[in-house]
Amino acid sequence: MNARSFSMFVAGVAALIAVDATVASAQATSTTRIPVSKEAPGEVAKVDTVMVHDTVTVTGMARVDTITTTNTVTVHDTTTVTQLPGFLRDVGGVYFGLGAGVALPYGSIRTVNEPGFNGQAQLGWQGAGRALGLRADVNYTGYAENNQFALFGARPSVWTGNLDLKLNLPLFRSLFGSYPHFSLYALGGGTYARFQALRFRTEDASGESSIPIAIANVSQSYESKFGWNAGGGLSWKFGSKELFVESRMIGFTPDRSGQTVDMAKHVPITLGFNWY
């Protein structure tokens, strides 16, 4: 090996050593200062600073964030309450009523008394949708005089107090549609009658009316008698108000000593209003 070849061999080995040192130093701290000093008597120390750059490869680990998502589902239950207007509702309970009309005489008071004015006030209870109710009323009638019998005294008058059961009948309720509420009803019960100057016809032994007409004793003071009543009517209810028209028969018989008197049949026909 000549000198030239040997020199190239040495240079190659030195280069390999230098590369190996560079790779090894790459594992050290990022920046390392290596002081190199020469100290000799009479000389000034010289500091050579060699900067070694270290490249550090950082392999980052994947970060997994756990996100918990809470989905809140709100369910709204919608309840629809249908509130009917007051005038469409079927109102029940306690009611007060007023009415007026005419009264017709039948039985032993027919012919000897003429039809007259009738007035009525009432208090009752009827539950909404209920068939059976209770009613109490006071009824007044001023009968007109028959001119043929005017000489028997004052104008006849009749007061009655009636306590009745009232039965609503489920017939033809939708006759006028769903509004107003239409109703048929029947009523009946006991009666307490007070009357004054009321004319009564008498009967003969055969049971036929006397001809010419005979008048029983006419009392100018009030008399009292228990009796009965029965009848019915129609009503149209507009919310808390009720229009009604009714007719019934009220029967009672006076005491006339020594005289045969048939039952008096007092028939008021009344138109009025109830308020619930």
* Residue 229 forms part of a structural domain: yes
pLDDT in tens, the chain (276 residues): 555 555 566 566 555 555 455 544 544 444 445 454 444 455 444 555 545 445 545 455 555 556 565 666 565 556 554 555 555 567 889 999 999 999 999 999 998 999 999 999 999 999 988 899 999 999 999 999 888 888 788 899 999 999 999 999 877 666 666 667 889 999 999 999 999 999 998 875 444 554 456 677 788 899 999 999 999 999 999 889 999 999 999 999 998 887 888 899 999 999 999 999
Give 13-20 contacts, CB < 8 A, sequence gap 24+. Answer: none
Total structural domains within the chain: 1
Range of the domain at 230: 93-275
**Residue 27 in domain:** no
Assess whether the previous peptide bond of 170 is cis (omega < 30° from 0): no
Query: What CATH number did the domain enclosing 158 receive?
Result: 2.40.160.20
Q: Quick check: is 84 in a domain?
A: no
Distance CA(163)–CA(165), nearest Å, equals: 7
Sequence-distant (≥ 6) Cβ neighbours of residue 224 within 8 angstroms: 192, 193, 194
Query: Do the domain assignments include residue 153?
Result: yes
pTM: 0.63
